[in-house]
A and B are shown apart, each in its own frame.
Chain A
Amino acid sequence: MDIALRGIALFGFIYLLTRVIGRRELSSLQPFDLILLIVLGDTIQQGLTQDDYSITGALIAVGTIASLQVLTSWGAFRFPRMRRVLEGHPIVLVEDGKVIEKNLRRERLTIDDLAEQARTNELASIADVQWAIFEPSGTISFIPKQ
Chain B
Amino acid sequence: MVLLGGGAFLAVEVLFLAANVTKIPYGAWVPLLIAITVFTVLTTWQRGRALVTRQREHDEGSLRAFVDKLHTRRPPLQRVPGTAVFLNRGKATAPLAMRANVEHNHILHEHVVILAIETSPVPHVPPADRVVVDDLGYTDDGISHVTAHFGHMEAPTSPPSCGWPTRPAWKAHSTSTTRPTFCPPSSCASAGSPA
Genuine A/B complex: no
**B interface residue numbers (CB < 8 A to A):** none
